[in-house]
Structure 1
């Protein structure tokens, strides 16, 4: 299955799920993400499919077979790269990652964006302060990200020195929290 096919399937799912979510009576004070309301009573996957900024991430989660996991009980903290973050990866490399033979590699990359706890930004900022300005964040994928503060903004650095900035923090989910980031983080090479 090509990236284009997965992308089209995600756009269709987004339109269908978005219509259902718009009818939801669940109010939330969550920030909007990708032009869509994020509902605190929905799972990470149920909300992510509604974000126009996360269609590539949703396609990757599907290709890696992580939908059921991220719809599970959690709690999870997901550092969610935007489409623009994925655009920094060549189309050739991204298409290769979405092929069935690269599933293990894609799964590791995606799970390096997931922490097995519910960590709101104030808690992360507190851990950074307690650790003297930098806090190690071990991920489900076996990576350790380094969290730091840049003014009032959290940044994450992967094991390769790639830095991502949290652009939207504290998007509450029924099974955790999403923090939107502007770069795809990678495991050590």
Structure 2
């Protein structure tokens, strides 16, 4: 138990001392490798390193693994389609979990995301929000378990 507390304290202190932008925060987490690769392939790195602020609903590597490999490979090669999917995961402004309200939220892509809350669980379209409020210098990330697709 003591090791866990020390590790948690170290992580909190290290994270606070070395805040980073959305892209660097995602890279350092180690669970968003596919997302970072997709952001690079879509040419969105400079945008997400920009001043923002941005709220990113970040799919984990496991979320991307739910997409059949052939479909994911094709998406990563189609910059326009990839950009559409990735920007659907971004909302302008810094929206912390406490500020999230159920209903429609306009994404950077232009389509509305649907936020629902029931039984203490929050969903974004068909994705479950599994971790919230990962702070970055230019916004915040909320972790989701499924890649959501624009309508």
1:84 to 62, 66, 70: 62
Q: How far has the Cα of 1:29 moved from its partner? A: 3.9
Partner of 1:105: 81
Alpha-carbon distance in structure 2 between the residues aligned to 1:173 and 1:150: 27
1:1-189 aligned at under 5 Å gives the runs: 29=12, 38-39=15-16, 41-99=19-77, 102-124=78-100, 127-128=101-102, 135-157=103-125, 163-188=126-151
Alpha-carbon distance in structure 1 between the residues aligned to 2:12 and 2:28: 16
Q: CA RMSD in A?
A: 1.7
Alpha-carbon distance in structure 2 between the residues aligned to 1:54 and 1:70: 14
Change (3 A) 1:55 1:123: same
Q: How far has the Cα of 1:152 moved from its partner? A: 1.9
Task: Looking at secondary structure, tell me which structure has more strand per residue.
Answer: 2
Task: Verify the 8 A CA contact 1:38 1:171 in the aligned structure 2.
Answer: no
Alpha-carbon distance in structure 2 between the residues aligned to 1:187 and 1:70: 19
User: Bigger relative contact order, structure 1 or 2, given CA contacts below 8 A and separation 6+?
Assistant: 2
After TM superposition, the score normalised by the length of structure 2 is: 0.87
Task: Verify the 8 A CA contact 1:38 1:47 in the aligned structure 2.
Answer: no
Task: Verify the 8 A CA contact 1:44 1:178 in the aligned structure 2.
Answer: yes
3-state SS of 1:53 partner: coil
- In structure 2, the gaps of 5 or more residues are 1-9
Alpha-carbon distance in structure 1 between the residues aligned to 2:124 and 2:92: 16
Change (3 A) 1:91 1:76: same
Q: How far has the Cα of 1:41 moved from its partner? A: 2.2
After TM superposition, the score normalised by the length of structure 1 is: 0.70
Per-residue CA distance 1:3-44 (angstroms, 9 max, x = gap): xxxxxxxxxxxxxxxxxxxxxxxx8749xxxxxx75572101
